[in-house]
Amino acid sequence: MVSALRKIAMWSIAASMGALMTTQSALADVELGSLQLLSEDNDTSPIPRGFAVGGVALGTSARYEASGSQGYVIPGFVYFGDDLLYVGDRGRYYFHRNENFAAFAYGRVRFGNLDPDDEREFEGMDKRHSQLEAGLGANIITPYALLTARASTDITGTSNGQEMLLWADFPWLHDRWLVMPGMGVVWRSSKMANYYFGGVSDDEATFERPSYSTGATVSPMVSLITMYRISKNWIGTASLAYEHYDSDIADSPLIDTKGETTFLIGAGYTW
Residue 98 has a pLDDT of: 94
Residue 197 has a pLDDT of: 96
What does each C-alpha distance from 125 to 113, 129, 204, 215 come to in angstroms? Answer: 12, 12, 5, 19
- Which position has the higher pLDDT, 19 or 79? 79
Cβ-based neighbours of 15, under 8 Å, separated by 6 or more: none
Summarised one tens digit per residue, pLDDT across range 182-192 is: 999 999 999 99
Question: CA-to-CA distance for 228 and 31, rounded, in angstroms?
Answer: 18
For the question of whether the overall pTM of this predicted structure is more than 0.75, the answer is yes
State the average pLDDT for the chain: 88
- The answer, yes or no, to whether residue 125 has pLDDT greater than 70, is yes
- The answer, yes or no, to whether residue 85 has pLDDT greater than 60, is yes
What does each C-alpha distance from 158 to 6, 125, 126, 132, 213 come to in angstroms? Answer: 41, 15, 12, 9, 17
**Percent with pLDDT over 70 in the chain:** 89
Residue 83 has a pLDDT of: 93
Question: CA-to-CA distance for 208 and 241, rounded, in angstroms?
Answer: 32
- The answer, yes or no, to whether residue 223 has pLDDT greater than 90, is yes
Consecutive H or E run containing 98: none
Burial class (CB in 10 A: 0-12, 13-18, 19+), 18: middle
Question: CA-to-CA distance for 43 and 62, rounded, in angstroms?
Answer: 39
Backbone angles phi, psi at 193, to 5 degrees: -65, -40
Summarised one tens digit per residue, pLDDT across range 87-109 is: 888 999 999 999 999 999 999 99
Question: CA-to-CA distance for 220 and 150, rounded, in angstroms?
Answer: 15
Query: Which of the four pLDDT bands, split at 50, 70 and 90, describes residue 2?
Result: very low
- What is the domain class of 2-270 according to CATH? mainly beta
Domain limits, the chain: 2-270
